[in-house]
Amino acid sequence: MELYEGGCDLKLLETLEGHGDRVWSLAWNPATGASGTPLVFASCSGDKTVRIWEHTPSPSATWTCKAILEDTHTRTVRSCAWSPSGKLLATASFDATTAIWENVGGDYECVSTLEGHENEVKSVSWNSSGTLLATCGRDKSVWIWEMQPGNEFECVSVLQGHTQDVKMVQWHPTTDVLFSCSYDNTIKVWADDDDDWQCVQTLGEPNNGHSSTVWALSFNASGDKMVTCSDDLTLKIWETDNVQMHSGDGYAPWRHICTLTGYHDRTIFSVHWSSEGIIASGAADDAIRFFVGNKDGLVDGPTYKLLLKKEKAHDMDINSVQWSPGEKRLLASASDDGVIKIWELVSSSTGNGY
């Protein structure tokens, strides 16, 4: 990407306070940020609440907390995810439930509560069409829920396969294939064969996988590459055959293409791949790093280089980094320090967004 020839800087736009405990996770509403719709994101915390934040367009260009979703979860809210339409928000909690919230004219109502996990629910994810929801938890299971009329959800499968706490679930961006990563050091890939969900691939240490807990994963825009982050202090890049994946011609397996090692010295908790190919990572060393594909090294396959490292981005562990939808290169980060920060990645030659 020629954009980075002049180097770039990470500009802090705003620091958002309000949560009374660590902030675990962030989710941008995918239906915002375009055609005049102000950007909106949700944050969730150890304070048992979810906050909805909205960008007020210029001149003030500030962020305001539009709603606090409380009195529903009785313990930490660990994860939140918007449906593709942006109308529903799912929140996963240590109280063993997942709540579904609907935005009714600016008021958020809890319209459904999903129960079934034995204990802490760690992550929640919607598929690309908004018809399926996945949850995972400390009970080592992954649940798939199907959305029914009237905001009802029916559990269609309970997937047992991980041997430890499941940290994250994430649907593939274009196909109904589900990915989960775990304290058992593996990533599992789940697919539906005639309404029978099963594990079709396990990415573990024997096939160049991670050697410690896998905390998170993210896909590139076209869905043919995936990045994973781990307690083993590495990021790993995986790829699949996009043509085979969409041809219906059997399962297209994923393979490891490279490992980014030597950049992090503490656990990497979060990774997110932007729509234009910039990987952001958030870690226990309180820093945010950015990586981009290196066009020079195509002889030995793709390589990635460090674009920028922002030291002391927060005062404590960074739990979540998420790129915004919309035109600008905005990134939100959430931390154990209880605050959320909104950043913009700008060209250092101009000081502006590109």
pLDDT score at 298: 59
Percent of the chain topping pLDDT 70: 95
pLDDT score at 66: 95
pLDDT score at 10: 96
Residues 112-120, mean pLDDT to the nearest whole number: 98
Comparing 8-17, 147-156, 232-241, 246-255, the range with the smallest average pLDDT is: 246-255
Sign of CA dihedral 156, 44, 211, 127: positive
- What global pTM score does this model have? 0.95
pLDDT score at 354: 41
- The answer, yes or no, to whether residue 154 has pLDDT greater than 70, is yes
- The answer, yes or no, to whether residue 193 has pLDDT greater than 60, is yes
311 burial class (0-12, 13-18, 19+ CB within 10 angstroms)? exposed
Query: What is the band of 291 on the pLDDT scale with cuts at 50, 70, 90?
Result: very high
CA distance 209 to 336: 28
Angle at 149 between CA 148 and CA 154, to 5 degrees: 20
162-201 b/e (C-beta count within 10 Å ≥ 16 → b): beebbbbbbbbebbbbbbbbbbbbbbbbbbbeeeebebbb
- The answer, yes or no, to whether residue 15 has pLDDT greater than 50, is yes
pLDDT score at 1: 40
Comparing 35-39, 226-230, 315-319, 347-351, the range with the smallest average pLDDT is: 347-351
Mean pLDDT for the chain? 93
> What are the structural domains of the chain?
10-345 (2.130.10.10)
307-310 contacts at long range (C-beta below 8 A, 24 or more positions apart): 307/4, 307/8, 307/278, 308/7, 308/8, 308/9, 308/10, 308/345, 309/263, 310/10, 310/343
Q: Which secondary-structure segment (H or E) carries 243?
A: helix 242-247
Query: What is the band of 2 on the pLDDT scale with cuts at 50, 70, 90?
Result: very low
pLDDT score at 194: 81
- The answer, yes or no, to whether residue 141 has pLDDT greater than 50, is yes
pLDDT score at 242: 83
CA distance 32 to 94: 28
Q: Which two tokens stand for residue 77?
A: 């809210």
Neighbours of 71 (CB within 10 A): 9
CA distance 46 to 351: 36
Comparing 259-268, 283-292, 343-352, the range with the smallest average pLDDT is: 343-352
- The answer, yes or no, to whether residue 3 has pLDDT greater than 70, is no
Residues 276-281, mean pLDDT to the nearest whole number: 96
pLDDT score at 296: 65
Comparing 127-131, 157-161, 262-266, 344-348, the range with the smallest average pLDDT is: 344-348
Q: Which two tokens stand for residue 340?
A: 């959320």
Residues 263-287, mean pLDDT to the nearest whole number: 97
Higher pLDDT, 351 or 248: 248
- The answer, yes or no, to whether residue 351 has pLDDT greater than 70, is no
Please provide the distance, in angstroms rounded to a whole number, between the alpha carbons at the two ends of the chain.
12
- The answer, yes or no, to whether residue 353 has pLDDT greater than 60, is no
User: Could you tell me if 44 and 77 are in contact, meaning their C-beta atoms sit under 8 angstroms apart?
Assistant: yes
